[in-house]
Chain A
Amino acid sequence: AQRVTQPEKLLSVFKGAPVELKCNYSYSGSPELFWYVQYSRQRLQLLLRHISRESIKGFTADLNKGETSFHLKKPFAQEEDSAMYYCALSFSSGSRLTFGEGTQLTVNP
């Protein structure tokens, strides 16, 4: 069965430092992977998807099939990046998403 693991429930960095939110998955096929974000007092929203190979708000994520990982990275964290981040995997048409438990990122001034 497919599974998404975010090993860190809490992650704290200082402003300007690099940040990496880890995500590992288990799935035998070819998955699609996504990152969702929820800022304080805001709704959960889609941040980026691996097939787009895009950079959103300075964040990037590369799918590493060998390591079955999809880590979210940003070279210089900002205070406004503080939020809850969820990694998610889709193994079919996209309607079925499996979410990780989330990582709460805090960027300190």
Chain B
Amino acid sequence: SQTIHQWPATLVQPVGSPLSLECTVEGTSNPNLYWYRQAAGRGLQLLFYSVGIGQISSEVPQNLSASRPQDRQFILSSKKLLLSDSGFYLCAWSDSGVPQHFGDGTRLSIL
């Protein structure tokens, strides 16, 4: 069966530090992969999605970037975190367009 792993679950980082959140999917091939963020009191906001290795679409211009070095690996990064990057980050995958399965999420706090 398919599973999705996202880590770390919680992260506290100082302003200006780098970021790397990782997401991997098992049990499927060539999935669509997504990174979402949920800020306090707001709905889920799509940050990036990928339909294949090396193919990244950015939805919101900001301080973050994403990469897909392998078919089932999706990485969210930043070179220098801002206070506004705090939030809850969710990775998701699907095999038919809209995200169907989500990870447990990462709670990111910027100090």
Do A and B come from the same complex? yes
Interface residue ranges, A against B (CB under 8 Å): 4, 32, 34, 43-46, 49, 86, 88, 90, 93-102
What residues of B have a CB within 8 angstroms of the CB of A93 in the complex?
Answer: 97
Q: What does the 1/0 interface line of B23-37 toward A look like (CB < 8 Å)?
A: 000000000101010
Is the beta-carbon distance between A45 and B44 smaller than 8 angstroms?
no
Is the beta-carbon distance between B98 and A49 smaller than 8 angstroms?
yes
In the A-B complex, the 4 residue pairs with the closest CB atoms:
A94-B97, A99-B43, A99-B44, A44-B102
Indicate which residue in A34, A95, A102 contacts B43 across the interface (CB closer than 8 Å). Answer: A102
A44 and B91 alpha carbons, distance in the complex (Å): 10
Residue of chain A at shortest CB distance from B45: A99
Min distance, Cβ A63 to any Cβ of chain B, angstroms: 15
Min distance, Cβ B27 to any Cβ of chain A, angstroms: 15
Residue of chain A at shortest CB distance from B36: A99
Is the beta-carbon distance between A90 and B102 smaller than 8 angstroms?
no
What residues of B have a CB within 8 angstroms of the CB of A44 in the complex?
Answer: 90, 92, 102
Is the beta-carbon distance between B42 and A95 smaller than 8 angstroms?
no
What residues of B have a CB within 8 angstroms of the CB of A46 in the complex?
Answer: 98-101
A101 and B43 alpha carbons, distance in the complex (Å): 4
Indicate which residue in B44, B51, B100, B101 contacts A86 across the interface (CB closer than 8 Å). Answer: B44
Interface centre among A46, A95, A99, A101 (most CB of B within 10 A): A95
A88 and B38 alpha carbons, distance in the complex (Å): 14
Is the beta-carbon distance between A97 and B98 smaller than 8 angstroms?
yes
A32 and B96 alpha carbons, distance in the complex (Å): 13
Residues of B64-111 contacting chain A, CB below 8 A = 90, 92, 96-104
What residues of B have a CB within 8 angstroms of the CB of A49 in the complex?
Answer: 98
A4 and B90 alpha carbons, distance in the complex (Å): 19
What residues of B have a CB within 8 angstroms of the CB of A43 in the complex?
Answer: 101-104
Indicate which residue in B42, B51, B59, B104 contacts A96 across the interface (CB closer than 8 Å). Answer: B59
User: Does B41 interact with chain A (Cβ within 8 Å)?
Assistant: yes
